[in-house]
Structures are given as structure tokens and as C-alpha cells.
Amino acid sequence: MTTTLPPIAPLSSRSRLARFIPSSRYTSVLVTLVLLVAMFGVGSARYRGFASGQVVMNLFIDNAFLIVLAVGMTFVILTGGIDLSVGAVVALSTMMAASLLRDGWNPAAVIVVVLVATSGLGLLVGLVIHYFDIQPFIATLAAMFLARGLCYVISLDSISITNPFFVSLAQTRIPLADRLSITPSVIIAVVVVAIAFVVLHFTRTGRTVYAIGDGGQSAHLMGLPVVRTKVLVYVISGFCSGIAGILFSLYTLSGYSLTAVGMELDAIAAVVIGGTLLTGGYGFVLGSLLGVLVLGVIQTIISFEGTLSSWWTRIVVGGLLLLFIILQRLLTARQR
Amino acid sequence: MTTQQAVASRAVRSRLFWPVITLVALFALNVIVSPSFLSIRVHDGHLFGSIIDILRNGSPTLLVALGMTLVIATRGIDLSVGAVVAISGALACSIIAGSPDPGSVNTVLVAIGVALAFSLILGVWNGLLVSVFGIQPIIATLILMTAGRGIAMLITEGQIITVSSPAYKVIGGGYWLGLPASIIIAGAMFLIVGLLTRRTALGMLIESVGINPTASRLAGVRARSITWTVYVFSAFCAGVAGIMISSNVTAADANNAGLWIEMDAILAVVIGGTSLMGGRYSLTGTLVGAFIIQTLTTTVYTVGIAPEITLVFKALVVIAVCLLQSPAMQERLRKRRATTTTTAKAAA
């Protein structure tokens, strides 16, 4: 594994304490993995039927869109930015898809139009951030307002999707083994994660993403295409939001302006819980996948518990977020 | 240069110039659409009119923006205000609804006291994460933003709590001295903050922390306490706004109370000319900014566009203001101004 990873800044002056930690590069991802296994173990011990393969598969089925969203967010956060517009862009994608399908468009054309539009919005955001030197937070906030507003421009009401191709895609179950099945969405999500993994760890673009997060100035001096990559991560995030939006419209078979409110927070939380440093330059896309699964397990446990109300999810996610942010502070403090 | 020209050029350079022009333009648009826009009537000794409505509906935003201004002045940001609004309203309403005598002034005072005290605790929490643990403000307040609505839901048990307490209704919907009480509350808080920060050194100290916390600490400024205080104050303002909103609609809705208010508040601050990079702020600017946002919302109603589309207008305003404020654009404008002055001199 070690050979496949990009050269992250060498840990030259490690303190005596840090020597006892095997490889601090993986520590936070390992913590996430341990947490995931532990939570799943607790769930299996407490509830009958929890430790089944289909429960695991359902984690993927119910969170396919969030996985894709978290992948895009990982790229942005690795460069030290943030994208607050993803939830609104997901809603916009579902609205665009639903309204175009209602007008009798070809499903393939709809998907292409949605992806081009969301990538275009990402490009616009990236250009504004770079050329006007506006904080990513504010630029993506404006994009969020814009996308939500455009949803309402398309329609104030929910539009249901009745297109035969979309409906059949939504109902398809791909059998894996005995009483185990997944949806096409899961395959798309897994493919997106795989592509992101390859791009981040085996290509020049991936190295540049990490280098920008470590410090844009030095990356620039190294002759890396900083500007292009900085803009590119927002295009990637927009593109991923578009895919997530299509997956979400398959999941709900409708388009609605108020869907995915707060989904950007879930995506950011998944990335942070997955061990990616919010200041950039450090983290793994597979960690973000684990982060989404952790959020999924929390939800599953709460639904198995039955007596717990669903709003506990938000409180637990907030608590986990705090835990991981403090953990990251400790780990980075130790490295320096 | 004559005095008139000097005054004119100073006005144009003022950071408040464009915000005020925007506001005047919005007013003009409203007057064209509905000529009675500027008229204020007296009815039963109370003032009525579109302007009064704008001021009243904008009061919670102004309050939240007031706290946000000081937070942004220290180069921070507080994303959790919407959640604090929801929690504070939920607490106050659930106490009033749960008491045997919802109408009594004592119950209302206790409810307000508890809601504000809890808001202060939430502010202390945010401040602790930012100033002691040194977590980036966006992230630190993101935690409460995520968890906060869950806490508010827990308080209301997932229900919308309605209260029927005339004493509580006064805060958001009542009148004092002929003016809506919420305007008086927001105005009083604005004046107090203005006096405290501009008549004492406090404002300057906040700005110095925003410019460089380490340098100001070395210069003897208690940077950590100041940072901590602004987050506590921001949560307090959000708490008051939460009470005001829930009192106005006589209900606490954990899901929707204060939704997007953090965005509106940040927008008001930015429109008002306070830089997100910290280090300088303008309370008057924030006042004008909050006023612009509320007028924009009202304008969308009066012009007859679907109210939901307000978001598009807000987005366009944020983008325009940010682009105008951006260093790149400022540089370009300065260059143009420089060339025009040189050509003017050459011509003379």
C-alpha cells in the first residue's frame, strides 16, 4: 500500500511520543475503521438481524448518493477549500432531471444535460474563487443560494419521475449472493470512488491536489499547474454533485426543491470523520467512504433501536465531528 | 476642488456609498410599483406602513448580523446562529407551554431567562473550541450547526410547539410607545453595541485581534478572551432573535426557525462593507445591509414574483457585492481611477 501513495511531507522531527504510533499517516483512517467495526459490533450484539449481509449492502444502497458527494468534497477539502453548494446542487439536479423527463426528453440526454450544468456551475465557482480571490466559503454559499433559487424557478412543487427507464433503473436489484442484492446506484458509487482513488494516488493531478493543500506557494514553485487544479476541484465537486443528484432522483423517483437541505453538512462530516484534514493536504478518499458508512451505521442503529428519535442522528454526528476534529488537532500537533 | 466636490468625493469613497445607493434604488423601485410604499399611518396609536414592516421583519436578522459583525471582525465566522435561534425559541416556547399559567409575566420572564442563559452556554462552547482549542471558526461552529437542530428537535420532541401567551407575544408582535417592540429591542441592542465598541477601546481591540491575534497578544491585548467574548455575544444575539421569531409566530418550529438566517446575517455584514478577512468592521454598514436584505425580500413580494425566488436575487447580490469587494476588482478600479486623475491633471 505504501508505495501507491503520494509523497506527503516527510515527518522529519517526530517527537518521542509519535514513535510509538506505527504510521501516523493512517492513524485517523484506522480510528475511523475501528469505530465503524465497533459500532457495527455493538449493533450486532444488541439487535437481532443486524449482522446480516443485506444490512451492510443497505448501507451502500441508502447512501450511494452521499458516497459520490463525499468523493467530490474530498477533492475540494484536500486543496484546503470547502463546497457548501453541494446539497443545493443535488436538489437542482433532481429538479432538472424530473422536469426534463416530464417534458419527454431522452433519459441519456437528461443525464448529460444535468452533468454538464452542474460541472459548469462548479467551473464558474472555481473561476470566481481563483480570479477574484474570494473565499471558497462565500463563493460556494452564493452558488448554494443560486442553485436553490433556480430549483424554485423550475417548479415550486415536487415533480414525480415516471420515465420507464428511470423507474426500471430504480427498481433493478442486482443479486450478489444468496439473499444479497445491490442497486445500480451502488455500482456507480463504487466506480466513482475507484476512479477518485486512482486519480488522487496515481496521477499528476492527484499529486497537485495534495500539494496545493500542503501549501499553494510551494506547489506553484514546483511548477505544478496550481491554478488549473484549484479550479478543477470545484468542477469535480460539481460533477459529483450532478451524479449524486441523479442517484438521489433514482432513490426518491422525484425532483423537489427542498430535498437535500443540510446534505452538504453530511458530506463534510463524512469527509472529516474519514480523517481528511480540513486545512487540506492530508487525507484519503477511502476514508471518506468509511466516513459515509459510519454515518449510515449511526442511522441504522437508531432505526433498529426504534425508541430513539431520528434527530439523535444529528446530535451523534455533531459529537463525532467534534471527536475527530480534536483527534486531528492532536495528530497534527504531534507531527509538528 | 470646491467643498461640494470634496464632500462628494468623500461620499463616493465611503464604504457605505454603494450599500446606501442600493437601498435607495430598492426604495425607488418599490415606490414605482406601489406608490403608497413610503407612507406611514398611525392607527390606534401604533405606526403602520411598509417601512415599519420591513424594519420589524428585519429585526431578527439585524440582531444576528450584529453578533456576526463582531465575530467576522475577529476574522471568524459563526455558522451556528441558525441552530441557536431554533434552540432558544424551542426552549422558551416549551417552558411557557409546559407551565400551568402560560399568560403570566413571571412565566415568560423565566422562559426568556432560561433561553438566553442556554444561548450564552452555547456561545461559550463555540468560543471554547475557537479560542482555546484553536479550531478553525467555520469548522468549530459547524459542529453546533449540525447538532443544534437535533438539540432543538429534542427540546420540542419533534413537534411544533404553539404558545398562547399574550405577554410573550409582545416581544415579536407587540407595540411599545407606538413602535413594534422588536424594532425597539433590536435598535437598543444596536445602540448599546455601538456605544460599547466605538466609545471605548473595545472595537479597536476586536479589530486588532482580527488583523493579527498573535501580534495583538504580544502587544498585551487579551486576544483569547476577546475572541471568546465575541462568540458568546453572537450566540446571545441569536438567542434574542430566536425568542423574537418564535414570539412573532407564537410557535417554535425546530426545523424551520432561523433556517438560512446565518446566510442572511453573513450577507448583511458583507454588504455593509465589513471584510471577511477581519480586522475592520462597520456596524452602520451591517444595519444598512440587514435593511437591504429585508427590503429585497419585501420587494420580491410587492413586485409579484414568487417569494421563493428571493434566493436567486440574494445569490446575485452576494456575487455582485463580493466581486466588487474582491481585491482583484479593487485593484482594477484603483488603476482606472489613477489613470482618470492623471489624464485630468494633464488636461488641466
Lookup: cell for A280: 487540506
The rounded distance, in Å, linking the Cα atoms of B139 and B78 is: 9
Interface list for B 166-185 with A (CB within 8 A) = none
pLDDT tens track, chain A, 336 positions: 344 444 444 444 444 444 444 456 777 888 889 989 999 998 899 888 888 888 899 999 999 999 999 999 999 999 999 998 999 999 999 999 999 999 989 999 999 999 999 999 999 999 999 888 888 888 898 898 899 889 988 888 889 998 899 999 888 888 887 778 899 999 999 999 999 999 999 999 999 999 998 876 788 888 888 889 999 999 999 999 999 999 999 998 988 887 777 788 889 989 988 988 888 888 899 999 999 999 999 888 888 887 777 788 888 888 888 888 887 777 776 655
* Count of domains forming chain B: 1
Pairwise CB contact (< 8 Å): B143 & A278? no
Let me know: does B256 contact A262? Beta carbons within 8 Å: no
What are the chain A neighbours of B150 within 8 Å (beta carbons)? Answer: 311-315, 318
What are the chain B neighbours of A138 within 8 Å (beta carbons)? Answer: 266, 270, 276, 318, 322
Mutate to test the interface with A, among B312, B314, B316 (most CBs of A within 10 A): B312
Residue A8 has a pLDDT of 47
Pairwise CB contact (< 8 Å): A145 & B314? yes
Place of cell 438567542: B239
Residue B342 has a pLDDT of 63
List the single residue in A145, A311, A313 with the smallest CB-CB distance to B315: A145
List the single residue in B133, B150, B311 with the smallest CB-CB distance to A152: B311
Does A330 lie at the interface with B, CB-CB under 8 angstroms? no
Mutate to test the interface with B, among A258, A322, A324 (most CBs of B within 10 A): A322
What is the least distance, in Å, from the CA of A318 to any CA of chain B?
5
Q: How many Cα neighbours within 13 Å face the side chain of B9?
A: 8
Question: B79-135: per-residue pLDDT in tens?
Answer: 999 999 999 999 999 999 988 888 888 999 999 999 999 999 999 999 999 998 888
Nearest-by-CA chain A residue for B326? A132
Mutate to test the interface with A, among B126, B146, B159 (most CBs of A within 10 A): B146
Establish, for the pair of chains A and B, how many residue pairs have beta carbons separated by less than 8 Å.
125
What are the chain B neighbours of A269 within 8 Å (beta carbons)? Answer: 146
Question: B257-297: per-residue pLDDT in tens?
Answer: 888 888 889 889 988 888 878 888 999 999 999 999 899 88
More confident call, A46 vs B327: A46
| Mean per-residue pLDDT over chain B, rounded | 86
Residue A3 has a pLDDT of 45
Place of cell 447512501: A63
Does B263 lie at the interface with A, CB-CB under 8 angstroms? yes
Expressed as residue numbers, the domain containing B108 is: 3-347
Mutate to test the interface with A, among B319, B323, B325 (most CBs of A within 10 A): B319
Residue A133 has a pLDDT of 82
Residue B16 has a pLDDT of 80
CB atoms near residue A199 (< 10 Å): 17
What is the least distance, in Å, from the CA of A200 to any CA of chain B?
24
Does A133 lie at the interface with B, CB-CB under 8 angstroms? yes
Q: What is the CATH number of the domain that holds B108?
A: 1.10.3470
Let me know: does A255 contact A147? Beta carbons within 8 Å: no
The rounded distance, in Å, linking the Cα atoms of B55 and B45 is: 18
Query: What percent of chain B is predicted at pLDDT more than 90?
Result: 36
The rounded distance, in Å, linking the Cα atoms of B19 and A69 is: 37
φ, ψ at A294 (rounded to 5°): -60, -45
Does B305 lie at the interface with A, CB-CB under 8 angstroms? no
The rounded distance, in Å, linking the Cα atoms of B142 and B125 is: 12
Lookup: cell for A137: 466559503
Which residues make beta-bridge pairs with B43? B46
Residue B63 has a pLDDT of 96
Mention every residue, 6+ apart, whose C-beta is less than 8 A from residue B344: none
More confident call, B307 vs A242: A242
List the single residue in B147, B276, B311 with the smallest CB-CB distance to A145: B311
More confident call, B308 vs A15: B308
- Of these ranges, B125-129, B133-137, B179-183, B202-206, the one predicted with the greatest mean pLDDT is B125-129
Q: How many Cα neighbours within 13 Å face the side chain of B153?
A: 16
Pairwise CB contact (< 8 Å): A325 & B135? yes
Pairwise CB contact (< 8 Å): A142 & B322? yes
Does B133 lie at the interface with A, CB-CB under 8 angstroms? yes
What are the chain A neighbours of B305 within 8 Å (beta carbons)? Answer: none
Nearest-by-CA chain A residue for B134? A329
Let me know: does A104 contact A162? Beta carbons within 8 Å: no
The rounded distance, in Å, linking the Cα atoms of B95 and B111 is: 6
Residue A10 has a pLDDT of 44
Pairwise CB contact (< 8 Å): A315 & B144? no
More confident call, B141 vs B49: B141
List the single residue in A137, A153, A321 with the smallest CB-CB distance to B146: A321
Residue B115 has a pLDDT of 96
φ, ψ at B175 (rounded to 5°): -125, 140
Pairwise CB contact (< 8 Å): B142 & A265? yes
The rounded distance, in Å, linking the Cα atoms of B131 and B223 is: 8
Let me know: does B76 contact B231? Beta carbons within 8 Å: yes
φ, ψ at B220 (rounded to 5°): 100, 5
Let me know: does B92 contact B167? Beta carbons within 8 Å: no
Please report which helix (H) or strand (E) contains residue A175, including its range.
strand A174-177
DSSP one-letter string for A227-278: HHHHHHHHHHHHHHHHHHHHHHHHHHSEE-TTTTTTHHHHHHHHHHHTT--T
CB atoms near residue A116 (< 10 Å): 13
Pairwise CB contact (< 8 Å): A146 & B311? yes
Question: B49-81: per-residue pLDDT in tens?
Answer: 888 888 998 999 999 999 999 999 999 999 999
What are the chain B neighbours of A150 within 8 Å (beta carbons)? Answer: 312
Lookup: cell for B268: 448583511
Let me know: does A28 contact A287? Beta carbons within 8 Å: yes
CATH of domain A26-42+49-335: 1.10.3470
Does A304 lie at the interface with B, CB-CB under 8 angstroms? no
